[in-house]
Structure 1
Amino acid sequence: MHPAEAGKPLIKFNHCKKYIYSFSVPQCCPLCQQVMGSRKLEEAPVSISNPFTNGHQEQCSFLLRPTQGTFLREYDGRSDLHVGITNTNGVVYNYTAHGVRRDEAGWEQSVSIPLVQPGMFGLMGQWDKYLEEFSASGAWLPQRYEEDHHNCYSYTLTFINCVLTAEGKGQLDKREFTEKYVVPRTRKASEYITLYRAVEGRGFYVTDRPEEATDPPEGGGVC
């Protein structure tokens, strides 16, 4: 991933009874101007997890990115999003008005949701065959594309449900899949974008220190 696409790493440290976010630890606290000096263990800087990943390094995953531009630079929270599914080599299959595309570049800053449970080697071994055969179906010809009803999201969800059916599992409707798998990750992405841009604009960002919340564990795969 190009550094401009990945963005700078964010860190968080404690000072003045506040959380301070920045791209690097300053020599002086931006609030009290005191030299930072040596810090206690609980005040040591920690890295903030980046919610974005290079989709071409992901296997058997659902990917989401802005239709135009990148999350960190151009995305405004209202722009259209585009989705796709990777094969085992990081090629992103996605449906557009031109039919099914097989992208080997362009998804370097994506939100990724793994679709295959760890250890399901049988499914991974068949994944590329399933995805290619599904994509060759007449249902995904260019002339069948409808922006509101037969689009990139319906393509990905239909494929996921085909795999779930083949595995003897129940299907997911759009609302259930979105709320259970997509919304938690896009919420984290939105928070990260806001934080990143605030630090980029001012050099640092300050928040109060609330009680630490524990995020619910993310599932290891959908299928």
Structure 2
Amino acid sequence: MQPLELETGLIKFTHCKKDIYCRCVPESCPLCGQSAVRSWKLEDAPVSIPSPFVSGHRAQCSFVVKPTNGVFLGEYDGCSDLHVGITSSKGIVYNYNETGIHRDDAGWQQCVWVPLVPPDLYALIHQWDAYLEDFSAADYWLSHRYREQDHNCYTFALMFINSMLALQGKKKFNKNEFTERFVLPRTRRASKYITICTEISQNYFYIIHNPENRYN
């Protein structure tokens, strides 16, 4: 499959009591053939649906997720392995795998992300890169210590996050807590977005017949 060029977002409008997603609003409704823009009620007017994906190299001080191989849009099957990392304040993605620590300045252009530092915490942002570099340099992250099940990229990311929380006197997260609170809501949204983009790439529109199941 080829990557889909829909990272800039989608448009949703309502017609025939259906939610219709597309790249841009058509002149006529794909369901009834009548004007898609005439006499719109406010609740039916087009709204922009932003992409849930960002470039990890533009996501400052964040937890980022991408497919281990390929990209989300057009290539991810929903079952393949995911890879995670932590970004520096300059967009370098620190990540850990069977070959050790990596500091990537490319390759993370399409990620689900969780911001970790409020933009007004200038002191922490200023020290973030030094903390991240020192943490990554520990022997604990040598390649021979890697274990796919319990000493992996997620271990690396979560341990760093918890070290930053401890530094601020805040409660640490276990893997389930962090995943359920921060990661799953974003990956579920991304999964719905991928479904919509795939349908649009094949049929130009994605139509939700039951508004209660709409993408939010």
Q: Normalised by the size of structure 2, how large is the TM-score?
A: 0.92
Q: Is 1:10 the equivalent of 2:10?
A: yes
**Which residue of the partner structure matches residue 51 of structure 1?**
52
Query: Residue 201 and residue 47 in structure 1: after superposition, are their counterparts in 2 closer, same or farther (change >3 A)?
Result: same
Shift of 1:44: 2.4
Instruction: Tell me how far apart the structure 2 counterparts of residues 194 and 212 of structure 1 sit (CA, whole Å).
Output: 13
Matches within 5 A, 1:112-123: 112-123=113-124
Question: Does the aligned pair in 1 maintain the 2:192–2:215 contact within 8 Å?
Answer: no
Task: String of CA shifts for 1:172-216, please: whole Å, max 9, x gaps.
Answer: 10010111110110110011111111111111111135369997x
Question: Does the aligned pair in 2 maintain the 1:11–1:23 contact within 8 Å?
Answer: yes
Identity fraction in percent: 52
**Which residue of the partner structure matches residue 28 of structure 2?**
28
Query: Residue 163 and residue 27 in structure 1: after superposition, are their counterparts in 2 closer, same or farther (change >3 A)?
Result: same
Question: Does the aligned pair in 2 maintain the 1:5–1:70 contact within 8 Å?
Answer: no
Matches within 5 A, 1:118-137: 118-137=119-138
Amino acid at match of 1:15: H
Matches within 5 A, 1:77-156: 77-156=78-157
Shift of 1:4: 5.5
Shift of 1:36: 2.9
Q: Structure 1: any 5+ residue segments left out of the alignment? A: 216-223
Question: Does the aligned pair in 1 maintain the 2:60–2:91 contact within 8 Å?
Answer: yes
Question: Does the aligned pair in 2 maintain the 1:100–1:135 contact within 8 Å?
Answer: yes
Q: Structure 2: any 5+ residue segments left out of the alignment? A: none
Question: Does the aligned pair in 2 maintain the 1:9–1:47 contact within 8 Å?
Answer: yes
Q: Normalised by the size of structure 1, how large is the TM-score?
A: 0.89
How many aligned positions are there? 213
